Structure 1
Amino acid sequence: MMTTDSLSICPNLIVGGESPAPQVVEQWSTGRRIINAYGPTEATVCATISEPLSGANVPLGRPIWNTRVYVLDAGLEPVPIGVKGELYIAAMGLTRSYLGRPGLTAERFIACPFGPPGSRMYRSGDLVRWRADGTLDFLGRADQQIKIRDFRIEPAEIETELAAINGIAQAVVIPREVAGETRLVAYLVAHPGKILPAMVELRAALAARLPNHMLPAVFVVLDALPLTINSKLDRRALPLPIITGPENTYRPPGDGACPGDC
């Protein structure tokens, strides 16, 4: 694994692909500028770019030159500042189509009602919101929205709050079948050299920021998150939690199991 010392002569670091956790930004921004670059392949990789990041501030930034972005509701109407909507991208760099997939092309590349006649925009599937300063916050994927006990939940919102807790470097929240019910399971990776809070403390910290239906029922500690060959999170490889004691205490299967208060 690369260390911060290995980039000691690198004054600038641009990251993309996955939104970095605040504590990861804090670790790697010491002595250099770290910038968050966002963009799907369909927009020729980069659509927005941030100002130099600080530990607790990880926005997507603002659109780059020759790029316009819109945060829209289901009726393709702009949403107010601070309100969640889907991100649409209109840019010179938009791809023409998906090869051999006209149906998907028509679904994702639509006419842009805010530009000149004939212009198009790309429906990213990413949920975002505008900040008052004109930058964007990433809130998750529209296709990862889940429903538990009639509540619609964005796992990325929970992950953002978890990543802001001291000691947590990475967090992933997914629905799992636990004891015959669909429950939220949080997978956590500790920041190097730090100890994760106990489960009771984690619950209390989240309860101060999130409604009850968004609180994970299970916390699983991992040494590292599983990745695909493309270095993306492999959600299907996340281990099933195993009960180790009362009061919803769990551990991951196999070696390196977390003690009972995970």
Structure 2
Amino acid sequence: MPDGIAGELWIGGLGVAHGYRGRSGLTADRFRPDPFGAPGARIYGTGDRVRRGPDGLEFLGRVDNQVKLRGHRIEPGEIEARLATHPTVAQAAVTLADPHGPRARLVAYVVPAAPVDAGELRAHVAQVLPGYMVPAEVVVLERFPLTPNGKLDRAALPAPTDVQASGPTKRATDTPARPAAPTADADASVAGTGDQTTNTVTAIWQEVLRIDDIGTDEDLFDLGGHSLTITQIAVRIRKRLGVDVPLDVFFDTPTIDGVVAAIADLREAR
């Protein structure tokens, strides 16, 4: 692979073993003819995803840890590596919660080195990774569960609803809550007051998130929002208020108050 592009690490040379003892199928899959070596030489597929940079190889995670979220293949190790660069994070792990359900989302687990701010960590990730790789929730743990050989036991990580998430987090109910229906005055607020705009934006968030009580200063991602949610909210704002809100606004100021302020700025700039 070219420098900077992720790929699986394969190892060749004299140190490559003959295979896995008593596991012929796995040996055939992981030990292949070496296209760069002498006749009969083999290379070994480690299952590690890496990329080559100026300082050598950077480990990005395991191939078998990849997850798929709304059509995107995601390597949690890339997100974990970014989280680990934040000064408040000692350790990080990322998993996909509710992978087959309506609220599939990325959850970041962190062992803190200092007090953790969930919004700050998400913004830190969003600086270098696309929106669909930004965790929807951040869960703080005193320590990570480990396997007998000392590796992270992902299967033993607690479900987000079983622990205290960082920041106020609300869950969508099993059945859609009854959102406050936007009034005609609110929909006509393209030229109306800030209060009318706030009412309309609040109603849109209630509909999309299926939550009937949202504070105007609550964080969209703490409420379970994600990149697809942002797109749905932006489309409804355009239809009801006639304003195209750039998607990065929701990452920079992920609250109703922040979005309403952005709408006011966009109207003034017309």
* Fold-level similarity (TM above 0.5): yes
The one-character-per-residue Cα deviations of 1:56-98 (angstroms, maximum 9, x if unpaired) are xxxxxxxxxxxxxxxxxxxxxxx11111111110132222121
Q: Which has the higher helix share?
A: 2
In the alignment, which residue of structure 2 is the partner of 1:204? 123
Looking at structure 2, the residues matched to 154 and 84 of structure 1 have their Cα atoms a distance apart, in angstroms, of 10
In the alignment, which residue of structure 2 is the partner of 1:235? 154
Calculate the TM-score normalised by the size of structure 2: 0.59
**Structure 2, unaligned stretches of length 5 or more?**
171-219, 224-270
The one of 98, 123, 137 equivalent to 1:177 is 98
Alignment of 1:216-235 (within 5 A): 216-235=135-154
Shift of 1:212: 0.5
Secondary structure, counterpart of 1:91 in structure 2? coil
Looking at structure 2, the residues matched to 91 and 238 of structure 1 have their Cα atoms a distance apart, in angstroms, of 38
The one of 40, 61, 75 equivalent to 1:140 is 61
Alignment of 1:1-262 (within 5 A): 79-133=1-55, 135-177=56-98, 180-191=102-113, 194-196=114-116, 198-242=117-161, 245-246=169-170, 247-249=220-222
In the alignment, which residue of structure 1 is the partner of 2:173? none
Secondary structure, counterpart of 1:98 in structure 2? coil
In the alignment, which residue of structure 2 is the partner of 1:31? none
The one-character-per-residue Cα deviations of 1:14-53 (angstroms, maximum 9, x if unpaired) are xxxxxxxxxxxxxxxxxxxxxxxxxxxxxxxxxxxxxxxx
For the structure 1 residues 81 and 248, does the alpha-carbon distance in structure 2 shift closer, same or farther, using more than 3 Å as the test? closer
Secondary structure, counterpart of 1:106 in structure 2? helix
Shift of 1:132: 3.2
Looking at structure 2, the residues matched to 203 and 84 of structure 1 have their Cα atoms a distance apart, in angstroms, of 23
* 1:82–1:132 Cα contact (<8 Å) kept: no
Match for 2:115: what amino acid? I
RMSD: 1.9
Match for 1:195: what amino acid? P
The one-character-per-residue Cα deviations of 1:102-153 (angstroms, maximum 9, x if unpaired) are 11111111110101111111011111111135x1111111111111000111
Secondary structure, counterpart of 1:239 in structure 2? coil
Q: Which has the higher strand share?
A: 1
Calculate the TM-score normalised by the size of structure 1: 0.60
Match for 2:156: what amino acid? A
Among the aligned pairs, what percent are the same residue? 48
